Structure 1
Amino acid sequence: MRFALSSLCGVLLACATAQASAASGDLAGAADLAKANGCYSCHAAAEKIVGPSFVSVAEKYAGDKDASASLAQSIQMGSKGKWGRAAMPAHPSLSPGDVTLLANWVLAARP
């Protein structure tokens, strides 16, 4: 019984580690996706350019349970007036998965 329990714990730990690694790998790839789609033309990690920094966006949405969906919609459809007069252009060619990945990546930004 002890062996079975220890084996089960090892399998669960390996699965959790693999899932965390895959999630962080996905988020790491999001930076390349952001670069490829011109996000860095208006945004930077920690400073305002034309649009807010990714850190500022993450701070604004902290604690909002609908943050990922809301931000994904802004990325896909564009937005106006959330951060001043500059409008964020729509990115209709991005897949829903890519939009969600970018939204989650921005929300994970830390100073």
Structure 2
Amino acid sequence: MKINKLFNVGLIALAGLTFACGGGEKAAETTAEPVAAAPAKEMSLEEKYQNDPIYIKGLEKLKTSDCTSCHMVERKIVGPSYAEVAAKYENTEENVTLLATKVIQGGVGVWGEVPMPAHPGLSEEDAKDMVRYVLLLKK
């Protein structure tokens, strides 16, 4: 009888030890941290404005001009990037007219000491189309 009692005490001790070390947990009951959804892919300008006539017309005119030798969309080369210009100026008709005049007449001092050459052969309407495109690039 003593052996049987000793055996039962040993079994209970072993069961208690097993449970205390995690043996009583079920795999289905474990909690996992929720997985965060991947951030949405940022839409490119081409995707965002692919059907916008202002974007299309302005981009066409910029591609056939010499603007891209001094300006890029998001990186400064000689002059400011288009994104910097868009960040500085609100998209209003007054600013479109002001900036179109600056494109045609040229200037210096607003973005540093490097002068922007005049573009007297550019029509006011073409310059405005280009400026409207640039001002769309505001983030």
TM-score when normalising by structure 1? 0.72
> Number of aligned pairs?
90
Counterpart check, 1:79 vs 2:107: yes
User: Residue deviations 1:66-97, cap 9 Å, x none?
Assistant: 21111111111111111001111111111111
Q: Does 1:33 align with 2:69?
A: no
Identify, as 1 or 2, the structure richer in helix.
Answer: 1
TM-score by length of 2: 0.58
Q: Which runs of 5+ in 2 are unaligned?
A: 1-48
Q: Compared with structure 1, are the counterparts of its residues 40 and 64 closer, same or farther at alpha carbon in structure 2 (3 Å cutoff)?
A: same
- Identity percentage over the alignment? 35
* 1:100 pairs with one of 119, 128, 133: 128
1:75 and 1:87 map into 2 onto residues whose CA distance is 11
- Paired residue secondary structure (2:68): helix
Q: Give structure 1 stretches of 5+ with no counterpart.
A: 1-20
Partner of 2:118: 90
Name segments (4+ residues, structure 1) moved above 4 Å: none
Greater Rg over alpha carbons, structure: 2
The structure, 1 or 2, with the larger RCO (C-alpha pairs under 8 Å, 6+ apart) is: 1
Against the structure 1 CA distance between its residues 100 and 63, is the aligned structure 2 distance closer, same or farther, given a 3 Å change threshold? closer
User: What CA distance in whole angstroms lies between the structure 1 residues aligned with 2:84 and 2:119?
Assistant: 21
